[in-house]
Amino acid sequence: MSDRQRAANTSWESLIGLAWSSFVNGGYGVAATITDTDNKQIADGTNSCATQVSPTDTLSGTPLAHAEMNALLAAGDLTRDARMLVTLSPCAMCLGAAGVARLSSVRYLAHDPGSDTLLSGPTYAGRATDISQASEGRWLTPLAEFLPLVRSILRHGAARSATAAAYSQRNPTMLQLAVEVAKARDLKRTLGNTAADAYQFLRDAGVTPTSPA
Ligand SMILES: [Zn+2]
């Protein structure tokens, strides 16, 4: 493994760690980070649609508080060439915002079957934002999509969750496991104390990541 690959893997592992801590604190478990071209971190964010991260966060507690939006808000005015890593594929809103912020690229770990709208990156003011699934950190993909699926079931119920409906078509094995975990309620007792424990739980259960449509 080259130094560059190792650095990329470390970035994804720490991003999943951030997603995990937001999940166990009641969030959806999606995390995004914005870095410059030297991989230096500028800002990060987690989904706070269901949680209040800080009293000054105007997006928190609203459906707009996706991890990417929170990271972009935290980054402020991006004058440097910047890119984003995010644990789940961005929705149309976040991809649009990444274009407006003139990010050069967005890389994501897991494919979100509830948000299949993205096919290509946006172009804003003559600059295109490149969007693609990361080639590094792929072993973390099942965990990256499992956390928001469980939270969606806990929040809306399996029958009313649009995410669960997408999974019933695209990855019923993962959905079944998520329903069981959501029923158990004590998430840490079921999944373990750390993202690594939860990763191992999914691995033992034999779930596979959802493929793009
Ligand atoms: Zn979004």
DSSP 44-86: EEE--SSS-S-TT-SSTTSTT--HHHHHHHHH-S--S-EEEEE
The predicted model gives 158-169 an average pLDDT of: 92
pLDDT at 114: 82
For residue 60, the CA-to-ligand 1 centroid distance in Å is: 13
Radius of gyration of the chain (CA): 16
Q: What is the DSSP letter of 211?
A: P
CA 52 to chain centre: 18
Q: Average pLDDT in the 144-155 region?
A: 96
pTM, entire model: 0.91
What mean pLDDT is predicted for residues 7-33?
91
Q: How far is the CA of 177 from the centre of ligand 1 (A)?
A: 24
> How far, in Å, is the centroid of ligand 1 from the Cα of 27?
14
CB-CB neighbours of 130 under 10 Å:
13
The pLDDT of residue 200 is above 80 = yes
Distance 184 CA to ligand 1 centre (A): 28
Q: Give the contacts of 55 (CB within 8 A, at least 6 positions apart).
A: none
b/e per residue, 80-100, with b = 16+ CB within 10 A?
eebbbbbbbbbbeebbebbbe
Q: What are phi and psi of 86, to 5 degrees?
A: -145, 145
pLDDT at 118: 63
CA nearest to 46, candidates 26, 68, 63: 68
pLDDT at position 77:
87
CA of 2 to the centre of ligand 1 (A): 32
Does position 18 have pLDDT exceeding 90, yes or no?
A: yes
Asked if residues 87 and 109 have their Cβ atoms less than 8 Å apart, the reply is: yes
